[in-house]
Amino acid sequence: MNVVCIGSGYVGSVTAAAFAALGHKTTVIDIDQKKVDTLLAKKSPIYEPGLDNLIAEYMGQTLFATTDYEPVRQAEVVFICVGTPSNADGSADLTYIKKAAENIAQHLDPKRFTVIVNKSTVPVGTADLVSSIVEQVSGLRQESHFAVVSNPEFLREGYAVEDVFYPDRIVIGTNNEQARYTIKMLYHNLLQRNHYEAISKLFPFPEKTDAPKATYFETDTKSAEMIKYASNAFLAVKISYINEVARLCETLGANVLDVAKGIGMDSRIGEKFLQVSSGWSGSCFPKDTAEILTTSQKYGSELLVVKAAVESNQKMHLYVVEKIQRRLKTLNGKNIGVLGLTFKPNTDDARKTQASIIIQQLIELGAHVSVHDPQGMEMFRALNPDVPVRYCESPLQAAELADAVVLLTHWEDYLSLNWALMQTKMRSPYILDTRNFLPKDFLIDIGFSYEGLGIDANAFRREPIELAR
């Protein structure tokens, strides 16, 4: 089929690369010439494992990129994959969506039926909004000339290639029969896993032949739009809950790792998203919880549980600072090394991460902060130009003369650090592992004073782990 993806950000570039790999002629349209040039040079405009491979393979074959909206004229399906940042009150800013709708409208072929798909995370009712903009600008009629469908994305950053080819579910919201048929055709190869043998050679993970096939779920547009927000808010609630349980475990002397394991064994709860952290962050959860909360308040149907999860999450960020402060007593003049600036591993995304909140607070209390991240330093620096931290080339450098090292992001690289050497470089070898990720018994054995979250590190010793020093 002939597909267009408007936007070459996290969602657009992954979606476009996937449809191109599945055999559809797919054109990415982005107003940013630099991003288009990057794509044309067969490179990914974002850091996402496996995406470079796909773009290199299909660019110029089935994948194309341009700043020009002309390809919309031939497209059977046009995906809107532009950003929806937050307004000051938490609601979604639809400026880019509206602009994309206007541009699409100016390039629709009146002789053909075009399906416009909202892939961006957009508030309930946005499909109707896009329809009315397209009608007004183009003079064409929805239902007879075009239809707007909601098809929310559920991609996790860092695993987006895996998620796009092996989704749990594909949610399609439409009230239009022709659109329903077109989109089902579009997803046919993905649902049947056609071409996977060839494509999987480009995956950054082994082909998942045993993974259950995706559920294809059709509903109306508003329900599809709601599914996206309700899913992300639910996941945020789940994490906030386990983080609160972790704080209580710490107070009462229980071990949150075993508690999470024990509750996750109940299939009604499930084991996923019960990993303790310094709080959730990133470009989706804060934005999506804020939007659904603001909407629920505006419409007099406040989501109290989501509100509590947001508050609890903010408390979790500050709890990390409190914990360091409790250990070091005063932070004035203390050196703190921070490992991890991205909201999770395998991404360079440092937008709205807990790191910025925690670091800001440490600095306000008088600490000198040195930071390291394998991928996220450039973006963090660009987004936080006024935050006076020392950017370090290695974790070792961040730990030099440190009174504390705090691990915020569980990058696998950090498992194989030369911890023994790091210990000797620090002024006092205290480490706070906010992900309960590092080999704590090993670290304790080599002389670190180790703390996790929700555990008493010394009370729950396990067999020593052999790690390269």
Q: Known catalytic residue: 5? A: no
Which of 214, 204, 110 has its CA nearest to residue 171?
A: 214
Is 275 a binding residue for ligand UDX by CB under 6 A? The answer is yes
Using CA atoms, how far apart are residues 198 and 20, in angstroms rounded to an integer?
Answer: 13
Closer of 42 and 208 to ligand UDX (Cβ) = 208
Closer of 147 and 170 to ligand UDX (Cβ) = 170
Closer of 52 and 153 to ligand UDX (Cβ) = 153
Closer of 71 and 374 to ligand UDX (Cβ) = 374
Stretch binding ligand UDX (CB under 6 A), from 75-83, 135-143, 278-286, 291-299 = 278-286
Is 281 a binding residue for ligand UDX by CB under 6 A? The answer is yes
Stretch binding ligand UDX (CB under 6 A), from 267-275, 291-299, 413-421, 446-454 = 267-275
Which of 116, 118, 98 has its CA nearest to residue 108?
A: 116
Is 274 a binding residue for ligand UDX by CB under 6 A? The answer is yes
Contacts to ligand UDX from residues 317-356, by CB under 6 A? 343-344
Stretch binding ligand UDX (CB under 6 A), from 34-42, 148-156, 319-327, 444-452 = 148-156
Task: Count the residues of the shown chain that bind ligand UDX, applying the rule CB under 6 A.
Answer: 19
Closer of 189 and 243 to ligand UDX (Cβ) = 243
Binding mask 220-259 for ligand UDX (x = CB under 6 A): ------------x--x---x--------------------
CB of 277 to ligand UDX, least distance (A): 3
Stretch binding ligand UDX (CB under 6 A), from 103-111, 126-134, 271-279, 440-448 = 271-279
Is 49 a binding residue for ligand UDX by CB under 6 A? The answer is no
Cα-based distances in Å from 183 to 77, 109, 120 = 8, 19, 16
Tell me whether strands 114-118 and 77-80 are parallel, antiparallel or unpaired: parallel
- The only residue of 153, 225, 250, 348 in contact with ligand UDX, by rule CB under 6 A: 153
Is 134 a binding residue for ligand UDX by CB under 6 A? The answer is no
Closer of 58 and 343 to ligand UDX (Cβ) = 343
CB of 250 to ligand UDX, least distance (A): 16
Contacts to ligand UDX from residues 155-214, by CB under 6 A? 155-157
Closer of 137 and 415 to ligand UDX (Cβ) = 415
Contacts to ligand UDX from residues 284-303, by CB under 6 A? 284-285
Positions that interact with ligand UDX (CB under 6 A):
153-157, 232, 235, 239, 273-275, 277, 280-282, 284-285, 343-344
Catalytic residues: 284
